[in-house]
């Protein structure tokens, strides 16, 4: 008799300490850099240099409380509530778009609530969609449904979420969700032929989304050749390049950067990595990149050590949510990718991004606590059962 089909053969241990330390260090860097990047703006706008720092500290405390709470919740429980998560995602994304309910900033309606209590639902929707996809493509839960049908339903659901996020508009978050969804599809062992077909079917949609929307077309042209219009569409990318150049190897020193003073767009959020580059130099940027590579390494190790397929795919999905977003942001700031508005996980100012990243980390820490029983223990259990 296969004991795994009868009893829970997992054993519970301690969470991954190395992964927690990596998250803690990134969050600490985030506090320091958020203050450095926002102090002048906060003093000028609100008359308080600590305006953004105090709010970020509040969200950091909330984030760690959530992380410690989530790491106590058995990850298998999430598989039971995927339908509820999808309904909640749809409701939240629709509410954001409703006048008088959704809060609009700079032409984008992405928030519910106001001030320090404003939340960006799309950051949490990414978590819900990943959990749903993991359940759908996990052999333990997928059943015997036809492969085409099994693919079509989640593709439609992801497409609906993608469109609703694009309507905000939030191209960066939508692309992040799409990339992670494709990775989950690939790692679950789904036929590569279907993935390739999805890619080709999606090409016309991406053409319309990018080249038929003026500001996105400008961003693409700025990516191809920012110097062609250095004081127009290429200005922000060039200012980011200048930040990297000024930083050199050791940087100008924490708080002594000048590119954040009106030259970089959103220096404490989307372009905070450029501030890190200027103030801490190549040494600081490579350290941050190494920390994210460490998150990828430990996250994949947690996935490999997971006691079941659901845990393996869930760990991969949560790790990719953190790392893909991080390298999207770094790619944009360094000019390696076209400009998209995605925050740098754990470092950029913003409560929703920080808390959602902490939730993903908490899920990973919970998965890391479980291991399968060793084979000899399982055989002994079988003898006792018989």
Residue 111 pairs in a beta bridge with 103
Span 120-151, pLDDT tens digits: 888 999 999 999 999 988 765 555 455 666 67
pLDDT over 70 (residue 9): no
**Residue range 348-361: mean pLDDT, rounded:** 94
* Count, residues in the chain: 386
Find how far residue 86's CA is from the centre of its chain. Answer: 18
pLDDT band at 382 (very low <50, low <70, confident <90, very high): very low
Q: What is the pLDDT of residue 348?
A: 94
Backbone angles phi, psi at 102, to 5 degrees: -75, 140
Say if CB 365 and CB 72 are below 8 A apart.
no
pLDDT band at 384 (very low <50, low <70, confident <90, very high): very low
pTM of the full structure: 0.90
Span 280-331, pLDDT tens digits: 999 999 999 999 999 999 999 999 999 889 999 999 999 999 999 999 999 9
CA atoms within 13 A of residue 59's CA, in its CB half-sphere? 29
Structure-token pair, residue 121: 């639902």
**Residue range 194-204: mean pLDDT, rounded:** 81
| C-alpha to C-alpha distance for 110 and 106, rounded to whole angstroms | 10
């Amino acid at each position: 008799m296969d004991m795994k089909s009868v009893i829970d053969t997992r054993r519970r241990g301690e969470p991954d300490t190395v992964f927690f330390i990596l998250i803690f260090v990134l969050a600490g860097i985030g506090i320091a850099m958020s203050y450095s990047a926002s102090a002048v703006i906060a003093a000028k706008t609100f008359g308080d240099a600590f305006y953004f720092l105090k709010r970020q500290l509040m969200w950091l405390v909330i984030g760690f409380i959530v992380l410690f709470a989530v790491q106590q919740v058995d990850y298998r429980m999430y598989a039971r509530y995927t339908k509820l998560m999808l309904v909640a995602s749809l409701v939240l994304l629709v509410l954001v778009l409703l006048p008088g309910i959704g809060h609009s900033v700079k032409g984008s309606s992405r928030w519910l609530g106001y001030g320090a209590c404003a939340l960006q639902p799309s950051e949490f929707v990414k978590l819900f969609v990943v959990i749903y996809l993991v359940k759908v493509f996990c052999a333990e839960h997928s059943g015997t449904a036809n492969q085409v049908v099994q693919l079509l339903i989640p593709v439609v659901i992801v497409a609906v979420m993608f469109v609703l996020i694009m309507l905000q508009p939030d191209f960066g978050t939508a692309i992040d969700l799409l990339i992670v969804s494709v990775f989950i599809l690939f790692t679950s062992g789904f036929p590569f032929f279907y993935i390739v077909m999805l890619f080709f079917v999606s090409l016309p949609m991406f053409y319309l989304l990018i080249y038929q929307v003026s500001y996105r077309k400008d961003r693409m042209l700025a990516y191809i050749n920012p110097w062609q219009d250095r004081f127009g569409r290429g200005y922000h990318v060039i200012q980011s390049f200048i930040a990297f150049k000024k930083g050199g190897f050791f940087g100008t020193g924490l708080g002594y950067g000048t590119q954040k003073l009106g030259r970089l767009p959103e220096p404490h959020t989307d372009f905070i990595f450029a501030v890190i580059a200027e103030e801490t130099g190549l040494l600081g940027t490579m350290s941050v990149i190494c920390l994210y590579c460490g998150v990828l390494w430990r996250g994949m190790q947690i996935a490999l050590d997971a006691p079941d397929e659901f845990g393996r795919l869930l760990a991969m999905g949560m790790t990719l949510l953190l790392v893909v977003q991080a390298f999207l942001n770094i790619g944009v700031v360094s000019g390696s990718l076209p400009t998209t508005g995605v925050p740098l996980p754990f470092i950029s100012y913003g409560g929703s991004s920080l808390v959602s990243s902490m939730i993903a980390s908490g899920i990973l820490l919970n998965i890391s606590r479980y291991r399968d029983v060793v084979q000899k223990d399982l055989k002994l259990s079988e003898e006792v059962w018989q």
